[in-house]
Structure formats: structure tokens, C-alpha cells
Amino acid sequence: MGNLTIDNIEVEVQKKNIKNLYLSVLPPNGRVRVSAPVNMDDEAVKVFIAAKISWIRKHQDKYKNRPVQCENKYVSGETILLWGKPYYLEVVYSNARNNIKIDGSRLILQVRGISTVEQRADVVNKWYRANIKREIPKLLEKWQKTMGVAVLEWRVKNMKTRWGTCNIKDKRIWLNLQLAKKHPVCLEYVVVHELVHLLERNHNKIFKSYMDKFLPNWRVIKKELNF
């Protein structure tokens, strides 16, 4: 069906092999996406979107009102987040191997003097990856036992629009590298969320009842994650 513009709002419409309509307002700028059943009439999709315009605007306003986060250049004086805690970045140039260490409120990034922004970003992202990979196995061990499910594989990926995904057929989950910047409870919430998909595919009442059972404050954590 492609894109629609309704009441000056552009909406990406995807037809999928699903039973219900799903509406999403996505970070970072409030992009709107609707997933609709393959056999649903196009007019019915338009009516659905039109009925949700006020809801869409409300959620888009949340993104507009967020503080603007400047893209890091990885130079001294910037702020680097780890598990929700801000650190003052201090860049040290050296011919020794690239390295990152935390000293109190400082995060010391050691790189070569000729390093580019991309190379410094790569060092930081590898450090984030190492941090998040240390935490995921602990959470999986805890929650797989609690929930009575098991994944066959998990991976970490830098994703722009999702915090996590679950391939139900292959029992594989992907977790967003950016979660290393968030408070640890946010990573736990996403792990639980993706594991619940092994019990219920869709984000319906059954899914939410599982979330309520396993992580009663998940709605509060979700709001913190998406701020």
C-alpha cells in the first residue's frame, strides 16, 4: 500500500500476514507506521488511521519535546552514558592500543592521535558491546527459568527503531546495542519483552497479562526507556 498522508501526517503502511492492525509512533522523530493484515481493504486502513490522528499527534509531541541530543564527536568534554549514568569524556592520544577506562566520573578514551570520529566511535561501540554482552547471559538465565522458555541464540545489533526483536520460529532474539546507555532495568525489560514473544506472538491482552505477571512495573520502565 505504501505511504499515506492523512491530515498532514505521513504514515508508512505495511501489509503483513497478521490478524490485527498495529499503529506505532517511532523514535527518534515520531515517524508513523501502521502494520495491517494483507487482506484488509485500503479504505478500512485509512479510516483506522484517521480515527487515531489525535493519538498520533500526542505521541509525536513527546518526541518534539525531548531534549535534543547532539551526535558525539568523541572529543574531550562530551558526555558518555553507561547504564544510565553520565561520564565526562576525556580523550587521551597515545600510540599504545585503544582503550577505555572509568575513573570516578570520568571516562578516559585512549586512542591514536590520527584517529577519526568514526574510529573513535568504533572503539566506544566495541566497549558498549562488551558491557552489554556481560549482562545479557545473567538476565537470560534468570528469566528463562522463571518463564519456562528458552532461546537458542541471542545477538547484539545497533538498531535505529527497535530495542529488540524476536524470531519466534528460530527462537533467536536481537538486542539493541544502545541499551548499554540506558538504566539496567531497561535492558531487563527488553529481555523479558522478547522472551514473552515465545509465549505470545502478538502485543495483545494475553501478551500484556504475561508482562504484568513477570514484570509488574513494565509500563513505567517502558516510559523511561523511550524518553
* Residue pLDDT, tens place only, 47-63: 999 999 999 998 888 76
What's the Rg (C-alpha) of the chain? 20
Confidence (pLDDT) at 82: 96
Residue 176 has pLDDT above 60, yes or no: yes
66: pLDDT strictly greater than 80: no
CATH of domain 131-225: 3.30.2010.10
Q: For position 68, what pLDDT does the model report?
A: 47
Q: Which helix (H) or strand (E) holds 99?
A: strand 99-103
| pLDDT tens, position by position, 187-200 | 999 999 999 999 99
Q: What are the residue ranges spanned by the domains of the chain?
A: 2-64, 79-128, 131-225
Which of 194, 221, 226 has its CA nearest to residue 210?
A: 194
Following DSSP, what letter does each residue of 147-159 receive, concatenated?
Answer: HT---SEEEEE--
Q: Quick one: pLDDT at residue 147?
A: 97
Report the percentage of the chain scoring pLDDT > 70. Answer: 95
Mean of the per-residue pLDDT values of the chain: 91
pLDDT exceeding 90 applies to what percent of the chain?
67
Amino acid residing at 105: S
Position 28 confidence tier, pLDDT thresholds 50, 70, 90: low
* pLDDT tens-digit series, residues 81-112: 999 999 999 999 999 999 999 999 999 999 99
Given this model, what pLDDT does residue 188 score? 98
Please give the backbone phi and psi of residue 133, each rounded to the nearest 5 degrees, phi first: -70, -20
Is 50 exceeded by the pLDDT of residue 160?
yes
